[in-house]
């Protein structure tokens, strides 16, 4: 959940149905439809071969611009200007030697704790701050960025976007509830390609595409003066992450870049060939110390400014409220809303600010749910932990899903009204009804002292001493924050290999909470 100054959950104005952005999206959709009808052959910038494409380069760039605005709004940009400039400088150097140097390249660090990087058509590259904590030198950073540039230069992202199919329940909820994506009292909704910008995060590439992007990343790295071993090193680390990375929010690397460990051997051959042709391999940069200095102090895990998940509880110190989601549910803390999902099921809980707050709660509920296409079955004024509320049950017949049941509370806390509820098909709702009721009635205000005690965890640099092990280091800095095995992987080690005295490593310093 977002920072107070920039999101709907913090009183950002709702998108106006008549604003210019909507006409731009409509034009983009029309262009994409025309491109689909008039699909033709073009030369692949990397291979030089002719291939069937569904959009021109100008349409690709426009799609990227539209998606970039939505991604920045929904996911949030990490607020560290020096770090952003550093990543952009590395990216621009790589892009300049790529097969498409004239694209409007943009490189952005996203404020997300998960481990991922992804590319949007048109030259928009994103790295999460969670990923930066797992990289160990500048050559690995160049390897990641070069790999993502390769997906764009070889037009993998365009091809994957063209293959992307249909809306699922999560996108449906976005179209219903995210301002600017849903119909507002008769205005047309944005069920078009631009409105699906966040769907670009979930683009998946085939094994051949991944291997080609690996090779391109190594080529771009060495051409820019970095050691191309960074590509294999970062793949090796990412391959160790499978059971340790946080899977909330942005999809992690393993969800969008399959089998990184299996690609290490493949890229190794390309790296050796490139090094054999290099004029002076010893001059290629790794720059471990410089990279660690750049990321020291970066927030690790949840950012309290956006709300944090501690166990099954979601706490937002800036807005001073807390609630509990059902045990074991996956939580996506976005800038427009917080969405929790029962693993493996299309059953969701959603939290966001209500857009209409100038009415009593019953009238607010009626307008919000009607605008979202729901019909009230029953509802009643209520109270949740001393806060005024209106709790109702609603239904909507959804094409391809059938009857969808929603149990939603509109809760007034201070000057804000929060929409908090569950959404599932009728059979699934019966299975989660008890947990949903418990979650709704867990909503509570945080005291100022309780909110002030919530601090972010941050990456720090540590020199290994005699007798240090991952277990002892983790215990010293807070094993409940980052376990020993994760600490090893963060530093490029197998979990069963210990650091050596004198090694400079990354640790995670927990946010210290002052005594109440």
- Work out whether strand 416-425 and strand 313-316 pair parallel, antiparallel, or are unpaired: unpaired
Q: What is the CA radius of gyration of the chain?
A: 24
At 87, is the pLDDT very low, low, confident or very high (cuts 50, 70, 90)?
very high
What distances in angstroms separate CA 181 from CA 77, 190, 191, one per listed residue? 21, 5, 7
> CA 444 to CA 257: how far, in whole Å?
39
Are 216 and 208 spatial neighbours (Cβ–Cβ below 8 Å)?
no
Alpha helices in 38-188 (DSSP H): 57-75, 81-96, 129-132, 138-153, 156-163, 169-177
Looking at domain 455-509, its CATH architecture is: Roll (3.10)
Give the pLDDT of residue 66: 87
Mind listing the pLDDT tens digit for each residue in 118-132? 888 899 999 999 999
Q: Supply 180's token pair.
A: 């600017």
What is the SS3 assignment for 426-466? HHHHHHHHHHHHHHHCCCEECCHHHHHCCCCEEEEEEECCC
pLDDT surpasses 50 at 38: no
Residues 162-181: tens digit of each pLDDT: 655 333 444 455 545 544 43
* Range of weakest confidence among 183-192, 212-221, 470-479: 183-192
Sheet holding 375-384: strands in order across? Answer: 330-333, 338-341, 348-353, 416-425, 402-413, 387-398, 375-384
pLDDT band at 249 (very low <50, low <70, confident <90, very high): very low
pLDDT of residue 257: 62
Tell which wins on pLDDT, 161 or 65. 65
- Check residue 208 and give its pLDDT: 84
Residues 116 and 255: their CA atoms lie apart, in Å, by 9
**Per-residue pLDDT at 414 exceeds 70:** yes
Give the rounded percent of residues in the chain with a pLDDT score beyond 70.
75
Q: Which range scores top for mean pLDDT: 286-295, 310-319, 448-457?
A: 286-295
Asked if the model's pLDDT at residue 417 lies above 50, the reply is: yes
Percent of the chain clearing pLDDT 90 (strictly above): 49
Residue indicated by tokens 């701050």: 129
Place of tokens 């909110």: 451
What are the domain boundaries of the chain? 39-164+203-295, 455-509
Residue (of 116, 135, 161) closest to 257 by Cα position: 116
Asked if residue 415 has pLDDT above 60, the reply is: yes
* pLDDT score of 302: 82
pLDDT for 54: 58
More confident residue, 191 or 174: 174
pLDDT for 24 equals 45
Q: pLDDT digit string (tens) for 382-402?
A: 999 999 999 999 999 987 778
pLDDT at 306: 81
Burial class (CB in 10 A: 0-12, 13-18, 19+), 291: buried
| 120 vs 110: which has the higher pLDDT | 110
Question: Can you give the pLDDT at residue 233?
Answer: 93
What is the arithmetic mean of pLDDT over 455-472? 94
């Amino acid at each position: 959940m977002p920072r107070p100054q920039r999101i709907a959950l913090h009183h950002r104005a709702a998108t106006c149905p008549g604003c210019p952005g909507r006409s731009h999206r409509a034009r983009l959709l029309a262009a994409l439809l025309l491109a689909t009808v008039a699909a033709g052959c073009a030369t692949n910038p990397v291979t030089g071969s002719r291939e069937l494409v569904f959009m021109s380069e100008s349409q690709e760039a426009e799609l990227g611009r539209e998606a970039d605005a939505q991604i920045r709004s929904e996911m949030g940009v990490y607020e560290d200007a020096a770090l952003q400039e550093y990543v952009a400088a590395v990216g621009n150097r790589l892009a300049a030697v790529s097969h498409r140097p004239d694209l409007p390249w943009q490189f952005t660090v996203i404020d997300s704790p998960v481990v991922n990087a992804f590319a949007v058509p048109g030259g928009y590259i994103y790295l999460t701050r969670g990923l930066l904590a797992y990289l160990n030198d500048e050559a690995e950073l160049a390897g990641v960025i070069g790999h993502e540039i390769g997906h764009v230069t070889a037009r993998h992202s365009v091809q994957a976007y063209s293959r992307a199919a249909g809306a699922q329940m999560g996108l449906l909820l976005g179209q219903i509830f995210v301002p600017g994506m849903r119909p507002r009292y008769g205005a047309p909704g944005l069920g078009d390609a631009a409105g699906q910008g966040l769907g670009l995060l979930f683009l998946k590439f085939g094994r051949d595409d991944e291997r080609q992007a690996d090779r391109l990343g190594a080529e771009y790295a060495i051409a820019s003066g970095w050691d191309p071993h960074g590509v294999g090193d970062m793949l090796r680390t990412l391959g160790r992450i499978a059971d340790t990375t946080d899977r909330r929010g942005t999809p992690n690397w393993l969800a969008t870049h399959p089998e990184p460990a299996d690609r290490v051997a493949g890229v190794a051959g390309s790296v050796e060939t490139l090094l054999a042709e290099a004029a002076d391999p010893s001059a290629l940069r790794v720059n471990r110390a410089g990279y660690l200095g750049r990321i020291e102090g970066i927030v690790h895990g949840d950012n309290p400014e956006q709300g944090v998940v501690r166990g099954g509880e979601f706490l937002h110190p800036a807005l001073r409220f807390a609630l509990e989601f059902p045990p074991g549910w996956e939580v996506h803390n976005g800038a427009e809303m917080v969405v929790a999902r029962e693993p493996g099921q299309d059953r969701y809980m959603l939290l966001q600010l209500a857009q209409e707050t100038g009415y009593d709660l019953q009238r607010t509920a009626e307008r919000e749910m009607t605008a979202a296409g729901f019909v009230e079955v029953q509802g009643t004024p209520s109270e949740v932990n001393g806060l005024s509320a209106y709790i109702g049950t609603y239904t909507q017949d959804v094409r391809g899903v059938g009857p969808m049941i929603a149990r939603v509370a509109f809760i007034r806390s201070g000057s804000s009204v929060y929409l908090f509820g569950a959404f599932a098909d009728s059979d699934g709702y019966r299975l989660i009804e008890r947990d949903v009721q418990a979650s709704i009635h867990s909503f509570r205000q945080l005291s100022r002292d309780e909110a002030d005690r919530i601090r972010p965890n941050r990456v720090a640099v540590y020199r290994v001493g005699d007798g240090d092990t991952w277990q002892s280091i983790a215990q010293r800095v807070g094993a409940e924050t980052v376990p020993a095995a994760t600490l090893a992987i963060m530093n490029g080690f197998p979990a069963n290999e210990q650091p050596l005295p004198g090694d400079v490593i990354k640790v995670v310093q927990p946010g210290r909470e002052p005594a109440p």
